Structures are given as structure tokens and as C-alpha cells.
Amino acid sequence: MAEVELPNPEELEELKGKTFTRRVALTTAVFAVALAIAALGGNNAMKEMLLAQQLAADQWAYYQAKVIREHLYKSQKVQVEAALKERGGGMKPEARAHFEAVLKKMGEEESRYRSEKKEIEQEARKLEHERDVNRSKDPYFDYAEVLLQIAIVMASIAIISASRPVFYFAVAAAALGTALAINGYLLLVQVPFFH
């Protein structure tokens, strides 16, 4: 009968440890990829928020300029109307026609500025909404980054200590961090204390 050589239990334990180490190392690499994606999302959300805020401020300044012009034409129109009432009957026909033409032109300009400012206001509000959406996304990315960094550190500790419970904790932290990053992109769930 041929002798069967049984493997040395120490070698089996070492092999088992290497397999665990490899799995944890590969999982840690996946955590690092998720961290990079979360960081990218956070940076983009912050940039988009700041850009939308700046563009909204520009639109509101433009809106204010239109309001000032509208009021300028309105006050000038009131002055011309008052002049027409005051001098009304004693004006020469060509002077009266000139005043009425100026009055009509001022009314048209006032109406034009009124309608233009409505379009500008809509654009400013749209940009403010975009700013608010990106502001809502940012905390999810921040917390996702923290949890994914914790997961990477805990996975490293799991490799050093060959501890499965520490690795499971790392997996749980990474799963929660990844869920928060996905929510940062999609805003599926609103977490009240994040806002």
C-alpha cells in the first residue's frame, strides 16, 4: 500500500492566511476605487454648486439692472405725462406730437424691460435650484469618503492581524460608504441631518 503524505497543518494554516490576505487586498483595491469615485463626485458637486451660485448672482445683478432701467423709463414716462397735462392745451401740435411719441417710446421700453427681467428671473431661479441640488449632494459624498477611508484602514488592519471580524467591519463600512456615494449621485433618499 502506498503511503499517503498528509500535509503539514502549519503549511495549511499559512496557505489559508495567504488566501485571506489576497482576498482582503483585492477587496481593499475595490474600496479604493469606490473612494476615488466618491471623491470625484464630491469635487464635481462642489464645483457645480459654486458655479451655479456665481451664475445665479450674475443673473440677479443683470435682473437688478433691468429693474433699474424699467423704473427709470417709468419715472420719465410719469414726468412726460405730467408735462402733457400741465401744458396740454397750450402746446403747439408738433410739440405735443413729439411729447406723445416720446411717451409711447418710454412705455414700450418700460414694457420691454419688464418682460426681459421675467426671463432673467426664471434663469436665476433655475441656477439657484441647480446650486441647491448640488449642495444637497455634497454631504453624501463627504460621508462616503470618510467611510471608505475607514474601510481601507480597517482592511489593512485585518490583513496585518488576520482578523475576519475586522474585515467584516471594513466591508460594512465600505458598503455604507458606497451606498452614500450612489445616493450622492442620484439623490434617491434624503437623510434629514445631512441638510
What pTM value is reported for the model?
0.78
What does the pLDDT read at residue 115? 94
Residue, of 89 and 149, whose pLDDT is higher: 149
Q: How far apart (Å, rounded) are the C-alpha atoms in residues 63 and 119? A: 9
% of residues, the chain, pLDDT over 90: 76
Is the pLDDT at 126 greater than 70, yes or no? yes
Neighbours of 181 (CB within 10 A): 25
pLDDT category, 12, cuts 50, 70, 90?
Answer: low
Upper half-sphere CA count for residue 38 (Cβ side, 13 Å):
27
Which candidate, 137, 147, 152, places its Cα nearest to that of 182? 137
Q: How far apart (Å, rounded) are the C-alpha atoms in residues 82 and 68? A: 21
User: Are the CB atoms for 181 and 38 separated by under 8 Å?
Assistant: yes
% of residues, the chain, pLDDT over 70: 91
Q: How far apart (Å, rounded) are the C-alpha atoms in residues 83 and 87? A: 6
What does the pLDDT read at residue 2? 47
Is the pLDDT at 1 greater than 60, yes or no? no
Is the pLDDT at 118 greater than 90, yes or no? yes
What does the pLDDT read at residue 141? 98
What does the pLDDT read at residue 8? 64
Collapsing DSSP states into helix, strand and coil, what is residue 101?
helix
pLDDT digits (tens, 9 = 90+) for 56-67: 999 999 999 999
